[in-house]
C-alpha cells in the first residue's frame, strides 16, 4: 500500500497584512505553515498506515524553502518526501499545478504503485479546491472529495467505503482503489510527532526533483501551461458607511433593546410584517 | 493562479478557431429532485452576461428521466434560460464525479459554450475541477463578481484571495470555455417569470452502470438529521467569543427561538467546542444572506465578514465602540451582549405577543 499526500506550504493567512499605501501583500515576517486543510488528509493517511500498514510519501511543489513543510510532515510520521521545485514551475495555475504534481506521482508509481492520493480540501492562499480533482482526473483515479469518514478499507478486494459531505446530506460511497481523497476539515486532529520520527526527519535525505526529473512537458507547466491570468489585484472597497448607532435614554439594556427592535422593524418593514404574521398565527 | 504577468489582458484577441464557442451556460445542480438555489441565482447572472454578449443562456440539467427533471427544466426557463440541455440517463440519478464528468465533457465539446458557470458547492467544485482538466481550460473558483470585458468579450471573474484581504480578477484568454464557480447567495435571486419559454435539446448519453466504479450505498439527508440549516435562514442570531463562555450561547438560542431564527457562530467557538461546525459562518464555514443578522460579541474579522456581509440588515452588539464590525454593520449597539441579548428576547416577544392579542 503506497499513499501519497500532497501538501502545500502557505503563508499563515491570519498574519497577512496589506501595506496601507501600496496596497500590496506584506509577506515579510509572515510565517510559512503547512496548509491547515492538508493536515486532516495527512492524519487520515497516517491512520491508515497505523491500521493496515502503508508507506506514506509526502509531496509538495514549491520553492526550496518548502522543504521545512516536508520535514514537518516526516516528523509526524510520513516515510518519504519529495520536493518538486523548478523555476519553470513558477506562475503555475491549478491546471499546470495538477499536471506537475501528477507527473511526480507517476514517477513515484514506477517504483511503488500508488493506491491512494490524499489532497487537502483546498488551500488557504489559492483557495480553489481544484488541484485534487485535477490530479484525480489526470491519473484516472476515482475522485472522493469532502470525505468525513473512511468507513472501511479492504486491501484484498481493493475496496473502500467512505462518507462524503454532499449539499443536502451525506453520501455513503463504495469504490475501488486507486482513488484520490480530500478530507473535510474537523474530521480528525493531527497527532503530535514521536521523538524518533523528529530525529529522523531532521536528517532525512528527501528527494528534490526538477521538471526534467519527472519528465513534465515544458509547455504544460508554469505560465505557459496556465490558462488563467490574473488581470487585477485590489483591496475590497470599504463599505459605504459605518453603522448607525442605536442609543437610548439612560442606556439600560431594556431601553436599548426596545430601541433596537424599533430600528430593525423600521429598516425592514417586510420582515416585521412576516414576523408579526407568524406570531399572530401562533407559530 | 498565476501572477499578473500578461497585463495585455484587454488587448488580447481570441484566435479564430475559438470564436465558434457561444452562449453562457449554467450547470443546474439538483440532488434528489431538489435544485440548489445557487443554480437559479446563476441563471439570473448568466442572463446579464449573455445580454451583454448578445448570446443565449443555456441550462444543463442532468439526471434520471422523470417528473422532477421536467419540472427543473421548466424552472430553468422561468429563471432565465433560453435553451435547456436535458441530459437523461438512469446512471445520472445520483451525483458521481466520473459519469458526470464524462457526460459534461462530451456535451461541452458538442455544443461549445463560451462560458460555463457552476455553484461553488460540494457538487459544483467537485465537478468543475474535473471537467476543467478534461477540457484543459481555465477555471476560477469561488467568484463573488462576474463581468464581461467587451474589448475582447472575455469573462472577468473576481474572487477573494488570502482569506478576503484582497480581491483579484482572473481571466481565461486563449482557452474556451471560460469556467467559474460562484459562491451561493452572493448573486441575487432573479424574479421568476413563468411566461418564459425556450427550446429543449435532449441528450441521451447511453451510460452503462457497469462502467461506473463508484457506487452510492446510501444517502443520509440532512433533514433526517439535526444539522443547522443556516444557509437558508431568514434570520440569524450569531455569537462570537464576546459571549465569554459556552453556557452563554443559550442567550443566542433564546433570542433565535422567539424570532424563528438559526444560530450562527464564529470559528473560535467551533474550535473551542462550544458548538458544531455546521453553525460556523465565514470563509471556512457557510456563506449566509439572511434578511436580518444579529451579531453579538463578534469583532468582525475579514474571514467572518466575507461569509455574512451580504445580509440585508446587520445589527452588531459589541462592548468595544471601535470593533471593526461597526465599520460594515448597518446598525450598531455598544453594550454587553450578556445583558442586551436577554433584553432583546424580551422586547421581541413583547412586540410579537402584543400583535397576537390584537390580531
Ligand atoms: C484561514 C482562516 C480561516 C478562518 N475562517 C473563519 C470563518 O470561516 N469564520 C470565522 O468566524 N472566523 C474565521 N477565522 C477566524 C477569524 O480570523 C477571527 O479570529 C474570528 O472570526 C474572530 O471571532 P470572534 O469575533 O468571535 O472573536 P474576537 O475576535 O475575539 O472578538 C470578540 C469580540 O467580542 C467583543 N466582546 C467582548 N465581550 C463582550 C460582551 N460581553 N458583549 C459584547 N461584545 C463583547 C470584543 O470587543 C470583540 O470585538 C479564520 C481564520 C483563518 C486564519
Ligand atoms: N503546490 C502544491 N504542492 C502540493 N500540493 C498542492 C499544491 N497546490 C495544491 N496542492 C494540493 O491540492 C489541494 C487543493 O489546493 P487548491 O486547489 O489550491 O485549493 C491542497 O490542499 C493540496 O493538497
* B229-258 confidence digits (pLDDT tens): 787 788 999 999 999 999 999 999 999 999
Distance from the Cα of A134 to chain B's closest Cα (Å) equals 6
Place of cell 443566542: B252
What's the CA gap between A277 and A250, in Å, rounded?
32
Q: What is the pLDDT of residue B230?
A: 85
- Residue B8 in this model has a pLDDT that exceeds 60: no
Task: Look at residue B344 in the predicted model and tell me its pLDDT.
Answer: 97
Tens-digit pLDDT profile for residues B203-234: 999 999 999 999 999 999 876 556 667 877 88
A157 and chain B: CB distance < 8 Å anywhere? no
Buried b (16+ CB within 10 A) or exposed e, B328-345: bbbbbbbbebbbbbbbbb
Question: What phi and psi, each to the nearest 5 degrees, are found at residue B184?
Answer: -60, 150
pLDDT for the residue numbered B355: 58
Q: What percent of chain A has pLDDT over 90?
A: 75
Instruction: Extract long-range pairs of B317-321: CB within 8 Å, 24+ residues apart.
Output: B317/B341, B318/B242, B319/B242
pLDDT greater at residue B4 or residue A219: A219
Mean of per-residue pLDDT scores for chain A: 92
pLDDT > 50? residue B3 = no
Per-residue pLDDT at B299 exceeds 90: yes
- What average pLDDT does the segment A5-29 reach? 76
Beta-strand relationship, A80-84 and A207-209: parallel
pLDDT in tens, A114-146: 999 999 999 988 778 899 999 999 999 999 999
* Ligand 1 probe mutation, B163, B300, B301, B336, most atoms within 8 A of CB: B301
Task: Report the SS3 class of residue A273.
Answer: helix
A171-214 residue pLDDT tens: 999 999 999 999 998 889 999 999 999 999 999 999 999 999 99
Interface of B with A in 295-354 (CB under 8 A): 309, 312-316, 325-336, 339-340, 342-344, 346-348, 351-353
Ligand index nearest the alpha carbon of residue B321: 1
> Cα torsion for B263, B243, B183, B48, to the nearest 10°?
90
What percent of chain A is predicted at pLDDT more than 70?
94
Q: Is the pLDDT of residue A258 over 80?
A: yes
Kindly determine whether residue A233 and residue B166, on different chains, have CB atoms separated by under 8 Å: yes
Q: Which residues are CB-neighbours of A276 under 8 A, at least 6 positions away?
A: B351, B352, B355, B359
What per-residue confidence (pLDDT) applies to B356?
54
Q: Does A170 touch chain B (CB under 8 A)?
A: yes
Cα-based distances in Å from B50 to A95, A190, B75, B154: 26, 47, 18, 12
Q: What 3 state SS string does chain B have?
A: CCCCCCCCHHHCCCCHHHCCCCCEEEEECEECCEECHHHHHHHHHHHHHHHHHCCCEEEEEEECCCHHHHHHHHHHHHCCCCEEEEEECHHHCCCCHHHHHHHHHHHHHHHCCCEEEEECCHHHHHHHHHHHHHCCCCEEEEECEEEEECCCCEEEEEEEEHHHCEEEEEEECCCCCEEEEECCCCCCCCCCCCCCCCEEEEECCCCCHHHCCCEEEEEEEHHHCCCCCHHHCCEEEEECHHHCCHHHHHHHHHHHHHHCCEEEECHHHHHCCCCCHHHEECCCCECCCCCEEEEECCCCCHHHHCCCCCCCEEEEEECCCCCHHHHCCCEEEECCHHHHHHHHHHHHHHHHHHHHHHC
Determine which of A52-56, B24-28, B219-223 has the lowest per-residue pLDDT on average. B219-223
- Which residue, chain included where needed, has cell 510532515? A73
Q: What is the mean pLDDT of residues B157-162?
A: 87
Q: What is the pLDDT of residue B186?
A: 85
* CB of B1 less than 8 A from some CB of A: yes
pLDDT value for A136: 98
Query: Does B359 score more than 50 pLDDT?
Result: no
Question: What band does B2 get if pLDDT is binned at 50, 70 and 90?
Answer: very low
pLDDT of residue B185: 83
Q: Judged by CB atoms within 8 Å, which residues 29-88 of A form the interface with B?
A: none
Say if residues B202 and B50 touch (Cβ distance below 8 Å).
Answer: no
Q: pLDDT at residue A66 above 90? A: yes
- Pick from A102, A85, A189: nearest CA to A139: A102
- Residue B6 is predicted with a pLDDT of 43
CB of A185 within 8 A of CB of B285? no
Confidence of residue B198 (pLDDT cuts 50, 70, 90): very high
Q: Per residue in A220-254, pLDDT tens? A: 999 999 999 988 888 877 665 788 999 988 889 99
What is the β-pairing status of strands B199-203 and B83-88?
parallel
Residue A238 with chain B: CB contacts under 8 Å: 327-328
- In the beta sheet, which residues pair with residue B59? B26, B84
Q: pLDDT higher for A103 or B15?
A: A103
Question: CB of B227 closer than 6 A to ligand 1?
Answer: no
- What pLDDT is stored for residue A239 in this prediction? 61
- Could you tell me the pTM of the whole model? 0.85
Residue A20 confidence (pLDDT): 67
For residue B336, give the ligand 1 atom closest to its CA.
42
- ipTM of this model? 0.85
Q: Is A240 on the interface with B (CB under 8 A)?
A: no
pLDDT for residue B81: 98
Q: Say yes or no: B8 contacts chain A, CB-CB below 8 A.
A: no
**Average model confidence (pLDDT) across chain B:** 91
Each residue's pLDDT tens digit, B142-151: 999 999 998 8
The residue in chain A having the minimum alpha-carbon distance to the alpha carbon of residue B353 is A279
Query: Does B218 contact A172 at a Cβ distance shorter than 8 Å?
Result: yes
Amino acid at each position: 500500500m503506497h499513499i501519497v499526500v500532497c501538501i502545500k506550504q502557505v503563508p499563515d493567512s491570519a498574519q497577512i497584512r496589506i501595506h496601507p499605501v501600496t496596497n500590496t501583500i506584506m509577506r515579510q515576517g509572515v510565517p510559512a505553515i503547512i496548509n491547515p486543510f492538508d493536515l486532516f488528509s495527512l492524519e487520515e493517511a497516517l491512520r491508515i498506515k497505523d491500521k493496515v500498514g502503508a508507506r506514506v510519501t509526502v509531496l509538495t511543489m514549491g520553492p526550496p524553502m518548502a522543504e521545512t513543510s516536508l520535514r514537518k510532515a516526516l516528523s509526524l510520521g510520513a516515510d518519504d518526501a519529495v520536493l518538486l521545485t523548478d523555476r519553470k514551475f513558477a506562475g503555475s495555475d491549478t491546471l499546470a499545478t495538477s499536471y506537475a504534481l501528477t507527473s511526480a506521482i507517476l514517477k513515484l508509481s514506477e517504483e511503488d504503485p500508488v493506491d491512494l492520493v490524499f489532497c487537502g480540501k483546498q488551500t488557504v492562499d489559492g483557495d480553489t479546491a481544484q488541484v485534487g480533482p485535477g490530479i484525480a482526473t489526470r491519473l484516472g483515479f476515482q475522485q472522493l472529495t469532502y470525505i468525513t469518514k473512511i468507513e472501511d478499507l479492504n486491501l484484498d478486494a481493493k475496496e473502500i467505503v467512505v462518507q462524503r459531505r454532499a449539499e443536502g446530506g451525506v453520501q455513503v460511497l463504495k469504490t475501488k482503489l486507486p482513488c484520490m481523497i480530500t478530507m473535510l476539515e474537523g474530521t480528525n486532529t493531527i497527532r503530535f510527532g514521536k521523538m524518533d520520527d523528529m530525529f529522523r526527519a531532521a536528517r532525512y535525505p528527501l528527494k528534490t526533483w526538477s521538471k526534467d526529473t519527472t519528465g513534465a512537458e515544458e509547455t504544460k507547466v508554469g505560465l505557459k501551461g496556465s490558462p488563467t491570468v490574473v488581470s487585477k489585484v485590489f483591496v475590497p472597497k470599504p463599505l459605504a458607511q459605518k453603522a448607525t448607532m442605536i442609543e437610548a435614554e439612560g442606556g439600560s439594556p431594556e431601553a436599548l433593546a426596545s430601541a433596537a427592535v424599533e430600528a430593525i422593524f423600521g429598516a425592514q418593514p417586510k420582515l416585521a410584517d412576516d414576523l408579526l404574521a407568524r406570531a399572530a398565527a401562533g407559530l | 493562479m498565476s501572477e499578473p504577468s500578461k497585463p495585455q489582458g484587454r488587448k488580447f484577441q481570441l484566435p479564430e478557431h475559438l470564436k465558434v464557442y457561444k452562449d453562457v451556460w449554467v450547470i443546474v445542480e439538483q440532488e434528489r429532485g431538489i435544485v440548489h438555489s445557487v443554480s437559479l441565482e446563476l441563471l439570473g447572472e448568466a442572463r446579464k452576461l449573455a445580454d451583454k454578449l448578445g448570446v443565449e443562456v443555456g441550462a444543463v440539467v442532468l439526471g434520471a428521466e422523470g417528473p422532477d427533471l421536467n419540472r427543473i427544466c421548466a424552472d430553468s426557463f422561468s429563471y432565465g434560460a433560453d435553451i435547456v440541455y436535458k441530459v437523461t440517463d438512469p446512471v445520472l440519478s445520483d451525483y458521481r464525479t466520473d459519469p458526470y464528468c464524462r457526460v459534461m465533457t462530451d456535451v461541452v465539446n458538442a455544443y461549445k459554450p463560451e462560458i460555463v458557470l457552476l455553484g461553488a458547492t460540494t457538487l459544483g467544485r467537485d465537478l468543475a475541477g474535473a471537467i476543467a482538466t478534461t477540457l484543459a481550460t481555465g477555471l476560477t473558483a469561488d467568484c463573488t463578481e462576474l463581468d464581461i470585458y467587451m474589448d475582447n468579450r472575455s469573462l472577468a471573474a473576481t474572487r477573494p484571495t488570502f482569506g478576503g484581504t484582497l480581491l483579484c480578477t482572473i481571466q481565461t484568454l486563449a482557452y474556451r470555455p471560460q469556467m467559474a464557480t460562484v459562491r451561493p447567495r452572493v448573486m441575487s435571486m432573479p424574479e421568476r417569470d413563468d411566461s418564459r419559454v425556450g427550446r429543449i435539446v435532449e441528450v441521451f448519453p447511453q451510460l452503462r452502470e457497469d462502467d461506473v466504479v463508484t457506487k452510492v450505498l446510501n444517502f443520509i439527508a440532512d433533514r433526517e438529521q439535526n444539522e443547522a440549516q443556516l444557509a437558508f435562514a431568514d434570520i440569524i442570531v450569531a455569537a462570537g467569543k464576546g459571549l465569554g463562555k459556552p453556557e452563554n450561547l443559550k442567550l443566542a438560542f433564546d433570542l433565535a427561538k422567539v424570532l424563528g431564527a438559526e444560530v450562527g457562530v464564529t470559528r473560535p467557538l467551533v474550535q473551542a467546542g462550544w458548538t458544531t461546525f455546521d453553525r460556523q459562518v465565514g470563509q471556512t464555514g457557510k456563506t449566509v444572506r439572511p434578511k436580518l443578522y444579529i451579531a453579538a460579541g463578534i469583532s468582525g474579522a475579514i474571514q467572518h465578514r466575507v461569509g455574512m456581509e451580504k445580509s440585508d440588515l446587520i445589527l452588531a452588539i459589541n462592548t468595544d465602540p471601535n470593533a471593526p464590525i461597526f465599520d460594515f454593520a448597518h446598525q450598531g449597539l455598544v453594550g454587553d451582549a450578556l445583558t442586551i441579548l436577554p433584553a432583546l428576547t424580551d422586547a421581541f416577544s413583547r412586540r410579537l405577543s402584543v400583535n397576537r392579542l390584537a390580531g
